[in-house]
Structure 1
């Protein structure tokens, strides 16, 4: 048994429980604090790590192709959901198809399908709202936990994944009347996340700070974002923090301090900056997300084959 791996899994479980407890007490404040403090450090360090891994694409310059498609979508003023859809589909194509001509044909097919698929309001909402937010911080984080558990076959790994699944359920059924009244600071700055509440609960007029269903949803949002960041920093075996050069560490540190400082200067301006940074890291992680699900499929097939 790998003692270090087991220890990391239990640290992850502890991180989940801490995030869940805080989400119960201060659901609106927690996500804002996590997003402002942990978010920038997560984005800078992950982008740096992904760069060292060639963004998990087949060819060295594939990531620039993804970036170019997103940039063209923005310049053409296409809906936000379209840009995410194209980047997500293209990331998969670049991961599984090495031939350039076949890649072009596959991407044209993706674009053509998108013309019809994205007329559906549900699919537009999934790609435009949920994929860069809750799907990224919860579903994709869960896929990493599950893949790790399947590969390492440890009790602690499966327990961590089970805890990750059960925490949102517990947040919705336990202590439903227990939470602090949102501060004026939280109410003023939660607007960045409010669209998740109003869209999910299908009401633009809902009082998201007092409606019980909205508060439960905000608990989940806070838990998902906070643990997403905790999980990243706990991946010592994957990221090998001690191998990061001093120069790169200093650059990341300066950028992080500057980003956090911007929050104290102008929170709304900082939110816009972090939104761009967050979106960049979401898109750059797409190839890794696809690889994770492919890895889960491979591990599951191996289980059923034996």
Structure 2
């Protein structure tokens, strides 16, 4: 195991242990302190790679949509905005022809119609896509894709360790006491809708933001952020002009300070900032999903018979080339 992989595993273990000991406090602190630094640094990294879009100007529309979505109070309309943005980004970044784009659009229309038939479906999408799907599922996609491309047993072990940590939290949840009641209440206020959304999705009544779900969110959020920061030497997100780096640091610190100054307004600002980075990452997420699907298909063909196809297509931007070694945002 390389030193970087060992550090990676150590940070994962640290996030897991903290999620067991202080889940409510960790969830809020990770979101408020680590979150802004992740958002600004990733937006900077995506900007240098044209957001993996055919035209960088499209990103402006995504930013406007993210800010507007943060002000939408209707859960169904918010979910529709998230769903629409994800489909459009997938059509722009992950399809290779007009035929593929049309097929994806038709599938999206079909799924959208099915969700419209259920009043709660778009609301569930709006709750889970910016939270669990973004910080957990997409993180797992990048980790798996990086492990496959590198062929590294150590990185495969990191994927297995991540899944094991999630399973342990779900099957043997912690019984940690709340140490800072105000933090715990804030976490419930801001993430309390995740439990009911999971209830609707899986048909399990009574799910709420208890210690089990809070510990899970605390772990996946904290690891999501740490996983990004540790890849500075891999995808080179820190290789930017000093003036921009200073602006990123100042903006990150200011965003955190704003929350502690006025947590209601600070959370609204952080929500808009978080949604901005999520929507700007949708093209990369879509591209990674396509590449992982191609890699899995190639693996199945390799098992069934002689390999006749290439692995995944080469990434179109230099930043994603590094994911051949490892990649998570």
Cα pair distance change 1:61/1:101, threshold 3 Å: farther
Aligned partner of 1:18 in structure 2 is: 14
Matched residue, 1:135: 133
Residues in 1 aligned to 2:99 and 2:199: alpha-carbon distance in whole angstroms: 44
Asked if 2 retains the 8 angstrom alpha-carbon contact of 1:23 and 1:220, the reply is yes
Deviation sequence 1:34-83 (CA, Å, 0-9, x none):
001000000000011111111112333333454566678889x8710110
Question: Aligned partners of 1:71, 1:301: CA distance in 2, in Å?
Answer: 38
Instruction: Point out the more displaced range, 110-119 or 130-139.
Output: 110-119
Other-structure match for 2:155: 157
1:59-208 matches, within 5 Å, as 59-67=55-63, 79-97=77-95, 110=108, 114-121=112-119, 123-174=121-172, 176=173, 178-190=175-187, 191-201=189-199
Q: Which runs of 5+ in 2 are unaligned?
A: 308-329
RMSD: 3.2
In the TM superposition, what is the alpha-carbon distance from 1:121 to its structure 2 partner? 4.4
TM-score for the superposition, normalised by structure 1: 0.85
Alignment partner of 1:261 out of 251, 257, 277: 257
Deviation per residue, 1:143-165 (Å, 9 max, x gap): 11001000000011100000111
Aligned 8 A contact 2:93 2:284 in 1: no
Instruction: Find out whether 1:221 has 2:250 as its counterpart.
Output: no
Map Cα deviations across residues 103-162 of structure 1 (whole Å, 9 max, x no partner).
699758846762443332463244211011001000000111001000000011100000
Work out whether residues 69 and 86 of structure 1, in 8 Å CA contact, stay in contact via their aligned partners in 2.
no
Match of residue 40 from structure 1: 36
Q: Distance in 1 between matches of 2:177 and 2:66?
A: 40
Q: Using the alignment, how far apart are the partners of 2:197 and 2:122 within structure 1?
A: 12
Aligned equivalents of 1:182 and 1:148: distance in 2?
A: 38
Q: Distance in 2 between matches of 1:198 and 1:237?
A: 39
- Give the direction of change, closer, same or farther, for the CA distance of 1:244–1:106 in structure 2 (3 Å limit): same
Q: Taking structure 2 as the reference length, what is the TM-score of the superposition?
A: 0.79
1 CA distance for matches of 2:285 and 2:64? 20
Asked if 2 retains the 8 angstrom alpha-carbon contact of 1:29 and 1:182, the reply is yes
State the secondary structure of the residue aligned to 1:180.
Answer: coil
Secondary structure, aligned partner of 2:175: coil
- The Cα shift of 1:168 comes to 1.1
How many residues in Structure 1 have an aligned counterpart in Structure 2?
296
Give structure 1 stretches of 5+ with no counterpart.
Answer: none
Query: Counterpart of 1:166 in 2: which secondary structure?
Result: helix
C-alpha distance in 2 between matches for 1:57 and 1:194: 34
**Greater mean alpha carbon deviation, residues 34-43 or residues 242-251:** 242-251
Distance 2:257 2:68 in 1: 32
Contact conserved, 1:82 with 1:128, CA < 8 A, in 2? yes
Using the TM superposition, name which of 12-21 and 114-123 deviates more: 114-123
